[in-house]
Structure 1
């Protein structure tokens, strides 16, 4: 479980988060950066100015800030991350309220899952913020759910080089298709469990994964129906609101 350093430097954390947002999600205005980090506009402006000074950001003709030359371009995701994130966040918060556990939104980029939003549980022992992290898709619950939503030929194409055992993965994905959800049983971090489901567009195309993450000491099979039910409700709400987008 990755925890915040004991002596965290808030301004550094804010600058790093802004750089990552610009790289992964695209351009931001000062007001949007301030709202995203929960800071004053003047503070956001100073942080962005420093990123520009160090080539981590550039300002375009519309006074928006974009990723600068010091940031490697991140892989493009099939759905605008800003839209997914904005639509999903209220449902992630509701999911946390229903389950008491941390909720995540993830997108599939090649063979990895990128966490694009986290709403943390308020419990003392909890799974922390995963936003910005990338992990192998075949290990993460949301990644497994997204792979299961793809055609087998596409899964084969994505996992062709140096990936997991194809026969083992195919059997697991078939099971996930049958039951509609996936489980990560401490595959990415000792002591951390997760249950995930795929979010689809009106045509059935998988767009994102939603997961509930919790310490393994709080997980047992009796909790699984409740977690799956809460996930199903969150996914249905996200799909409904995405379909209503102009």
Structure 2
């Protein structure tokens, strides 16, 4: 299991939102690249970055901050937010992003996902963000009629590297991951699933290391890292011990 530290970008700063509400943004670092370096020094092996402004605008809005992160760290970076066409996908992969996350466009233009996954094997992930079971789009500002499993099944044979599943109701509020919904999605799909939204403490890490969660590819942590509720050394040590024992 990979534990991804999250950097959410708003107006060039590293922030965390509550349940996707841009009006409830807490600034944690004015220098996202420095934050990325700190995560790398702590031993994390893969970074999760979201361009929040881009998710609302439908195009990249924090490119300078992302490029600064890419220049400062050696660990791979997966990036989401405002990635809605092939040109944007190609541009980010060309700049060194290891994996792009397609969210809104996966709902509205599923052929884009299939085309991109064919062109760039292993480099395309789908972000499924659910609100009361329905998939949300445009930075979570709108809800579609699609369910998470229904959307995931669209891409079963497309060559998608991973699905990042976020329970919006839990995101940024430190109430714990929605393990039941995440496992339901993972059980329904062959695509690896990454859990996101609500990871609050070491208890969540321990839960993710239970046998029934072995099918999950990883989890994303944000606010719990920033406010000190999750000790990175302890979390990464638990994961390493579980890998060694497997």
TM superposition score normalised by structure 1: 0.30
Q: Identify the structure with the greater helix proportion.
A: 1
Greater C-alpha radius of gyration: 1
TM superposition score normalised by structure 2: 0.30
Q: Identify the structure with the greater strand proportion.
A: 2
